[in-house]
Structure 1
Amino acid sequence: VWIDRAAFTDRVTLETAGRLRRADGSPLPVTPIDRAELSPDAYDLRYVRGFRGAHGHTASGLEV
């Protein structure tokens, strides 16, 4: 999900890892009428803020 703002852009990402199985526990392939379930082994949630430009400078001239 990208959230665009005036001075910066926020990005939120959710990734899961695990096996995709049919609702009865059998492995894929899933037909259009079968329900599928994800058994997540791991979640990775990330929040990133990206600024459009420098907001200031350090004493040594580094942009921050």
Structure 2
Amino acid sequence: MSEQVSESWINIDEAAEYLGVKPVTLRTWIKKKNGIPAHKIGKQWKFKYSELDEWVKSGKSAIE
């Protein structure tokens, strides 16, 4: 069985930069529960690039 390297978590600032928005915009999306794949780990929100990509590809990011 081959081992997969697990994808690392990114913080809200890195996710915002990746998506081309401000961190406050991400926090608003999380509060609105619009389906953004955010995970609360401790007191911080964490994201994975692959989940953000899937969310954007699904079209859910365009729904307000």
TM over 0.5: no
Considering only CA atoms, is the larger Rg found in Structure 1 or Structure 2?
1
TM-score with structure 2 length normalisation? Answer: 0.18
